[in-house]
Structure formats: C-alpha cells, structure tokens
Amino acid sequence: MGWLMETGRVVAIESDAVWIEADRSTACGRCAARAGCGQGALSRLFQQGKGRVRALSGAQLSASHCDLGDQVWIRVPEASLLSGTALLYGFPLVLGTLLSLLLSSEGDIWAAGGFCLGIVAGFAILHRAIVLLGGIVPGFAEPELAGKADISQVRSDIISVTH
C-alpha cells in the first residue's frame, strides 16, 4: 500500500493526536496536476495556503513525543484518499444525474434544474453525514504521524520544488 506524505508544524497537542499546520502551497508545488487542479486555486483563494490537520499517533511517532513547533511527517494511505475523494465528488454527481434523468421527460429546463438540485442535495447530505460522524469524512482515514522531519531536509525539498 502506498502512502501520501506531507510535512507540517505541530500547533496543538492532544493525548493521542496532534494538530498540524501544513503549507498547502508546498504540496501543490510538487503535484503534477497543479496547473489544472481546482483545489490549489481554492486554497489560494480562501485559505491563504495554510491548512490544519489532526494527525493520530503512528507506529513510528507518538503524539506524546511531539512539542509545539516541531516539524513532523504525516501520512495518509493512497487508497483511502482516492476512495474518499470518489465519494465526495461522485455522490453529488450521481444524485444530480439521477434527478436529471428522472425529470428529463418534463423538458430541458427541468432536467437542468434537477441536476443542480441533485448536486446541492448531494453535498448537503454529505455535509450532514460528516457532522453526524464527528467531522470524519466517510472513506478517508485520518492522517497519522510518520516521524519528525529534519528542518534542513524540508527546506531543501521546498527549494528543489521551486527551481
């Protein structure tokens, strides 16, 4: 199983987890799809490139061994990210398509309206499910701590990406 890795700075510590502030622009700079990706644009527009993530204690590093300001590696299983993303984008699209097909016999305006209603309803249903599950997105695994990062290595990774 493959892992997606990212570095971040510890900004809060809980008993079994830490909150990490990651620079999303760094991750976007390494991504091959950065030019056509909407997530990078949304991050730049709304979140100024910073994001906070809760990371559980991992096999290599426990939350109790972290201090505020530490640079750490976090990881997420690739399969978890792909299945969760498929659910988050796929469910509203499928619901919109089904409503559009059901209403297509009434005319194009009804079909288009049904699609829009399905998209909005799909995201609303997912939002409600996430709230009921305590902020856990179905299909996504929570990130886990993979180890402390060597600050000079993190900076050299960032420099090599920008050149």
Q: What is the pLDDT of residue 163?
A: 47
Q: What is the pLDDT of residue 31?
A: 62
Over pLDDT 90: what percentage of the chain? 23
Q: Calculate mean pLDDT across residues 106-112.
A: 95
User: What are the tens digits of pLDDT across the range 1-12?
Assistant: 688 888 889 998
CA distances from 49 to 21, 52, 80, 163 (A): 10, 10, 23, 19
What HEC string does 58-72 produce?
A: CCCCCHHHCCCCCEE
Mean pLDDT taken over the chain:
77
69-to-40, 61, 72 alpha-carbon distances in Å: 25, 15, 9
Q: Which domain holds residue 15?
A: 3-162
Q: What's the pLDDT tens digit per position in 53-96? A: 788 888 888 888 888 988 998 888 877 777 777 888 899 999 99
**Residue 130: per-residue pLDDT:** 79
Overall number of domains in the chain: 1
**Segment holding 160, helix H or strand E:** helix 151-162
Model pLDDT, residue 103: 96
pTM: 0.57
Model pLDDT, residue 117: 97
pLDDT in tens, 13-27: 888 888 888 765 555
